[in-house]
């Protein structure tokens, strides 16, 4: 049967070598405008800290920046790492955004710190306690967004009855149980955490409890995407991402490196079991090749939405890839795909 697949972008505002944070954030907006013009459903910012090569640390500020300079695309967090924050402050921030940009703001919530342990402790000294309390911290946010709390002693009045849908983010099966129990949509970080994707999706669908927000399960999966005119050009662009992940695994993080030819050495690095597993869901090539990869992924996972990450050195290559991927998904939406 036919199933309309939504497609979105997850933005980390990764700094390319030779670029400034200012240029990087302006490029994030440029990509968001292209996404809106090409019918992407949403544009989410991740939250990361203590990295000289990632600009998405003040997530709610970037959401406001993009929402102010676009018209229709949904903008949100992919996600707010809740243990880093006070639920009251997050409710106030996103309630404010919802009033400024009605019916366009999403609140994706995750449990991880988005950084190293030392930095997590610097952000919030009781981080581990807050991480273990993730389910109850979400309940606090839901309460602040509810009109029921209008008589509470501690309130976030600007958030009460604001239309801000909550999404549970995850990279393991723990989050699947929680999203299902609460009847919330579920987004899985399969653009780097590939091992548990299928199991997590199964748990979420099997255990899903309908809620006021959601009558049936809704799933989003992260994928890495590089689309270009030729397979060779796409592989060349992809070398920047290979080097970035290799740097993460070896503790040698640096700004995103310019692409090079796909050498035998880089192929060997890509085929290393750890890196190969992390980049399992990377669709790289021409439109036709990426279309085949995307269709296979959709048939395997049965997800409702793809959220793509484009870790690409040059903004012009990013924009072109985003436009071509929109064409890919539109073509897939026009044909029969096997859904159970």
Q: For 79-120, how does the pLDDT look when each residue is reduced to its tens digit (9 = 90+)?
A: 999 999 999 999 999 999 999 999 999 999 999 888 888 888
What distance lies between CA 195 and its chain's CA centroid?
Answer: 17
Determine, yes or no, domain membership for 194.
Answer: yes
Sign of CA dihedral 7, 111, 93, 309: negative
Whose CA is closest to 101, among 81, 79, 72? Answer: 72
Res 248: pLDDT? 86
Report the 3 state secondary structure along 84-148. Answer: HCCHHHHHHHHHHHHHHCCCCEEEEEECCCCCCHHHHHHHCCCHHHHHHCHHHHHHHHHHHCCHH
First to last CA, the chain: 9
CATH number assigned to the domain comprising residue 264: 3.20.20.30
Distance CA 242, CA 266 (A): 8
Q: What is the pLDDT of residues 263-280, one digit of tens each?
A: 999 999 999 999 999 999
206: region left, alpha or beta (phi > 0 left; psi from -120 to 50 alpha): alpha
114 lies in some domain: yes
On whether the CB atoms of residues 79 and 119 are closer than 8 A, the answer is no
Q: Residue 292: CA atoms inside 13 Å, Cβ hemisphere, count?
A: 5
The tokens for 42 are 């949403």
CA distance 304 to 8: 11
Q: What is the structure's pLDDT at 117?
A: 83
79, HSE (Cβ side, Cα atoms, 13 Å): 27
* Integer Cα distance of 63 and 60 in angstroms: 5
Q: Tokens at residue 269, please?
A: 């690095």
What pLDDT, on the 0 to 100 scale, is given for residue 315? 98
Q: State residue 188 phi and psi, 5-degree precision.
A: -110, 135
Phi, psi of 145, deg, nearest 5: -80, -5
Tell me if 93 is assigned to some domain.
yes
**Radius of gyration in angstroms for the set of CA atoms belonging to the chain, rounded to a whole number:** 19
Q: Is 1 inside a domain boundary?
A: no
- For residue 119, the model assigns a pLDDT of 84
- Say what the pTM is: 0.95
Given a cut of 70, the residues of the chain with pLDDT beneath it are 1-2, 335-340
The total domain count for the chain is 1
Report if residue 340 sits inside a domain: no
pLDDT of residue 63: 98
**What tokens appear for 170 in the block?**
């995850």
pLDDT at 174: 93
Task: DSSP for 215-257, please give it.
Answer: SS--EEEEEEEEE-SSHHHHHHHHHHHHHHHHHHHHT---SBP
Q: CA-based diameter of the chain, in Å?
A: 65
- Give, in degrees to the nearest 5, the angle at Cα 68 between 62 and 74: 75
Give the C-alpha separation, 92 to 296, whole Å. Answer: 41
Which domain covers residue 176, as residue numbers? 6-333
């Amino acid at each position: 049967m036919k199933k309309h697949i939504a497609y979105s972008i997850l933005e980390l505002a990764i700094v390319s070598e030779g670029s400034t944070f200012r240029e990087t954030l302006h490029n994030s907006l440029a990509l968001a405008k292209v996404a809106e013009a090409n019918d992407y459903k949403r544009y989410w910012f991740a939250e990361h800290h203590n990295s000289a090569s990632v600009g998405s640390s003040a997530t709610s500020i970037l959401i406001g920046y993009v929402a102010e300079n676009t018209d229709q695309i949904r903008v949100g967090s992919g996600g707010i790492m809740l243990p880093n924050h006070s639920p009251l402050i997050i409710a106030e921030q996103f309630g404010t955004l919802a009033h400024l940009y009605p019916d366009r703001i999403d609140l994706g919530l995750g449990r991880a710190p988005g950084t190293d342990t030392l930095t997590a402790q610097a952000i919030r000294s009781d981080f581990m306690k807050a991480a273990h309390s993730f389910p109850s911290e979400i309940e606090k946010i839901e309460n602040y967004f509810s009109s029921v709390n209008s008589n509470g002693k501690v309130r976030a009045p600007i958030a009460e009855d604001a239309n801000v849908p909550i999404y549970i983010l995850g990279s393991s099966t723990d989050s699947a149980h929680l999203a299902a129990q609460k009847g919330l949509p579920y987004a899985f970080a399969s653009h780097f955490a590939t091992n548990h994707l299928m199991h997590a999706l199964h748990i979420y669908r099997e255990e899903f409890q309908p809620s006021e927000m959601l009558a049936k399960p809704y799933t989003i999966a992260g994928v890495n995407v590089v689309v270009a005119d030729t397979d060779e050009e796409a592989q060349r662009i992809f070398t920047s991402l290979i080097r970035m992940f290799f740097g993460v695994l070896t503790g040698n993080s640096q700004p995103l490196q310019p692409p090079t030819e796909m050498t035998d050495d880089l192929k060997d690095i890509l085929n290393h079991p750890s890196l190969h597993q992390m980049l399992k869901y990377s669709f790289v090539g021409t439109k036709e090749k990426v279309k085949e990869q995307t269709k296979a992924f959709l048939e395997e996972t049965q997800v409702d939405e793809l959220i793509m990450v484009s870790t690409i050195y040059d903004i012009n290559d990013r924009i072109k890839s985003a436009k071509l991927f929109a064409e890919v998904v539109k073509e897939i939406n026009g044909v029969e795909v096997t859904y159970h």
